[in-house]
Structure 1
């Protein structure tokens, strides 16, 4: 059940079925991201794909009949119309068309009617309609999915399509479970179930689930049952990079960061292409500091060895190992840049103190002491306004029904600093006590959680104060 492998198999299939020879690939905005997150440009060149074009970029009059064209697009109305226009006046010699999800028969018939020159060789569905972040994690890049407590229609439709594609690419026909009483979960579950029934022939994986094995389970969770976790700062590598620097389509943009070398202003973070990242994405920040120090020392040793080229054998060895050496050099520089920026932001935003207070509010019921400390912290100009709002949000959720709850005074401090105070009432409306099933604040062993967090922060502080991260 590896999502990256599933996407790669589909792309390999497209390239192989189009046969040998130079090819171009015609994509839309979303499939461009899907391809780029699984393959580098050099990977595609090895598969004889030399030209990348966007279906929605506007047509040119240049004809390239010597090229085969692989079309990989989502089956949207806009894409169908653009492809129909392409087929009426074909730019390439032949077309191999692959849709990233289920396409209605009426659309296939319409495209066939537009293909008057009979340049289409294949029309198939490949279920690669999601963006792979990790082998076990995908995204649909939906920025906003709900308005108040209801699904936005386009977001619901895209979520259903994406989940169906994941199930089909992994060959799973699941049992669907969701929390009773959650309308948003029920709506999603119902639509997925209806689509599975409608496309029952595609979901006939009976042979896959033989030998009495338990059927796969699609478990739909409602974020309202745990609004706390997204408000807490994370201390593992991938999570920290995403929260503090933002990972978008496996890329980190450092172009606005001072002192970053030109070649490192946009960094690719893919576990499939970066062994160090794959091995350390879930490691805590303190461990990463030690690991990258060891990586840098290994690189320095190899750099010294490369300077000792005194014989023909040394030259031969240098030529053979240079690509790996160059790759290692890039890996070291990339992660030093990232760690340096994470370290700077951690200090600048005083995240040690903020994170420790977050954990105490989430895990310990000490209202009076926490209220005073939150007031002091959120009034500190060194604390970012977003971190301050998250602290107030945690307090509001934790002490919503406490007799002495004083969210209003905290909101006044946020307002004085120019923060958006309307977020907190909206959060309570969305995920307050009346909306949650069970008490999220009593589901952890309080003493263990606080002790673990304090120990982790001590380790991270020690590592950061011992090592200085700079870009080479």
Structure 2
């Protein structure tokens, strides 16, 4: 199960099945994102695609058509897009249209399109199931920054998530058993809706499958700690400190950064160095960047002596790869340089060590003192200070000696923004002990840590990666056949049909890159299983707190009124 390969196969089908000749690719905002995750613009242009257009662009309706070009249309089957496409067909800009929808389209909508095709320019209409963002081969996202209102599904987000999961299953040719987190109404609702569509479209799901498959739907609230932690593997670290948005990283706010580096693309498909290093830790990245620079310098040196026509020919032939390597070196040196600067400036090693200990151990007195020490350091960012208190509150909410209010008073003395203080209450209401099904934070004994230094930059050691997400334990139960039916029941009247080989985990409220690493590790350790991870979005701590804030709108503070005092809610 490889979501990038699935999407690329559909794009290949779309660009190669139409007649030969120059083409225009007409998309909407969402389908542009879907394709850009797996193909660069230059790669698309190599498939005879001369022009990329957006049907929802304000300028598109005024643009002049080129009737000698063929138009590949790739759109989500929304009413807005159907209307726009009807207008396009009424006054066609191009000579022929090959229409592809990213998901199931209603027969009534096809009929409407046919009625508007008065000039008979439509040559083909197909469904190509790629209505999701393929992030890594084993990781996908629906692309919804938030999905809840008042701790219930936002109806539009629920519909979009159902559509995304249905297209995912169709693209992978899976008709899975569905299980869901028992204490979560959101998980039950999503599972029921997906099962309903699979039943309604049973002919599309009639695959001859050799292996058992499972779709397990989880609720982010069962593990609120994972998205709050600082990260130390490359992809996760970049997302936490700089934010990755559809494979793009905005570096424009870094002082002195070159204009061409104001936004960089980090894609496992288009960047071999990134693909090899996304799960490497901070120390190893430094070593590997140095090797990349050495490789570039060796190539540059070999190009310095151009003394003959043959030398010139060799240089010109190698130039595209040379230029690409040059750009890659500059890009990664810039990114890692900024990460290193932030780690040192904001004392992130010290912060992370305490975060990891709180998330992995029980030692109330020691943790409280460690947090107080970091809160007294004005160079620690307000966000990191607040997150430490959130982790402490989640860990020790029910400890009779907890000092949540004392820590909040300390934050107030730092003049921390009111919004961060409210987030402490929000996180406890959103995912406190009352909301969690798995007794995530009830660790029986403190974890024994053996510090092993990793060769590379800064002496980073594995004390910074001792935390394991709840997903790790769930996957272990699945592969060992001991996932409890009462905690993760089956949707509807279906029966358990044995141990699944193909496992799709979907997290309502967003997945994380740390959980992606967990899935990657399981896939390597258990080669007879294929595990795929998805979420409504891919969170870092900032986007997670935005999600929590949105979910908690108009929710009463019934679980924290006695625990936390003196925070103003407007």
Question: What TM-score, normalized to structure 1?
Answer: 0.93
**Aligned equivalents of 2:11, 2:162: Cα separation in 1:** 22
Shift in Å, 1:459: 6.1
Matched positions, count: 456
**Aligned equivalents of 2:295, 2:63: Cα separation in 1:** 54
Return 308-317 or 289-298, whichever deviates more.
308-317
Deviations for 1:409-453, whole angstroms, at most 9, x for unmatched residues?
Answer: 2122333322421112221122111221232134587434x445x
Q: Is the 8 A contact 2:361 2:443 kept in 1?
A: no
Pair 393,460 (structure 1): closer, same or farther in 2 beyond 3 Å: farther
Alignment match, 2:291: 294
Deviations for 1:395-416, whole angstroms, at most 9, x for unmatched residues?
Answer: 0011001011111121223333
**Aligned equivalents of 2:426, 2:292: Cα separation in 1:** 46
**Aligned equivalents of 1:174, 1:143: Cα separation in 2:** 26
CA RMSD of the aligned region, Å?
A: 1.8
Alignment match, 1:3: 3
1:89 to 66, 91, 94: 91
Alignment match, 1:468: none
**Equivalent position SS for 2:131:** coil
**Aligned equivalents of 2:146, 2:222: Cα separation in 1:** 19
Q: Is the 8 A contact 1:3 1:137 kept in 2?
A: yes
Alignment match, 2:49: 49
Q: Is the 8 A contact 1:290 1:463 kept in 2?
A: no
Q: Is the 8 A contact 1:148 1:430 kept in 2?
A: no
**Equivalent position SS for 1:189:** helix
Structure 1: state its 5+ residue gaps.
465-472
Write out aligned runs for 1:56-135 (5 A): 56-58=56-58, 59-60=61-62, 62-135=64-137
Alignment match, 1:388: 385
Pair 348,166 (structure 1): closer, same or farther in 2 beyond 3 Å: same
Question: What TM-score, normalized to structure 2?
Answer: 0.77
Deviations for 1:138-174, whole angstroms, at most 9, x for unmatched residues?
Answer: 1222111112321111111111111111111011111
2:235 to 233, 238, 249: 238
Write out aligned runs for 1:164-313 (5 A): 164-206=166-208, 209-210=209-210, 213=211, 215-313=212-310
Q: Is the 8 A contact 1:172 1:203 kept in 2?
A: yes
Structure 2: state its 5+ residue gaps.
462-570
Q: Does 1:375 align with 2:377?
A: no
Higher helix share: 1
**Aligned equivalents of 1:400, 1:356: Cα separation in 2:** 21
**Equivalent position SS for 1:92:** coil
Alignment match, 2:155: 153
Write out aligned runs for 1:138-149 (5 A): 138-149=140-151
Alignment match, 1:14: 14
Q: Is the 8 A contact 2:267 2:275 kept in 1?
A: yes
**Aligned equivalents of 1:49, 1:122: Cα separation in 2:** 17
Alignment match, 2:436: 436
After TM superposition, which residue ranges in structure 1, 4 or more long, deviate above 6 angstroms?
none
Greater relative CO, 1 or 2 (CA 8 Å, sep 6+): 2
**Aligned equivalents of 1:29, 1:91: Cα separation in 2:** 20
Pair 353,61 (structure 1): closer, same or farther in 2 beyond 3 Å: closer
**Equivalent position SS for 2:67:** strand
